[in-house]
Amino acid sequence: MDSETSENRGKLNTSLHVADAEDGERGKALHAALEREEALRTIINNSQVVVFLWKNEEKWPAEFVSENVVNFGYTVEDFISGRVL
């Protein structure tokens, strides 16, 4: 899964959740949470920090890698696929 696929999937999931949310407090809370997530994603992707989420399995496969890993010469797919450990 490349970063574009991951990003598109996230936007699709976000759209579905927002579309399914009830009006009122639940919808407002969801909207606020999504805005915070986007702000954090922007901060991380514009920094020198790379975020990894590793699975607790043999060889510790990466489940998530922030897109700014490209600043260090790697792609998200390098880690998700296991080419880089």
pLDDT tens, position by position, 28-55: 999 999 999 999 989 998 888 899 999 9
3-12, 32-41, 45-54, 58-67: least confident range: 3-12
| Exposure of 25 in the CB half-sphere (CA atoms within 13 A) | 0
* Interhelix angle 25-45/3-20, nearest 10 degrees: 160
Gap between the Cα atoms of 8 and 4, Å rounded: 6
The count of other CB atoms within 10 Å of the CB of residue 1 is: 13
pTM above 0.85, yes or no: no
Q: Output the six-digit token pair for 72.
A: 């260090």
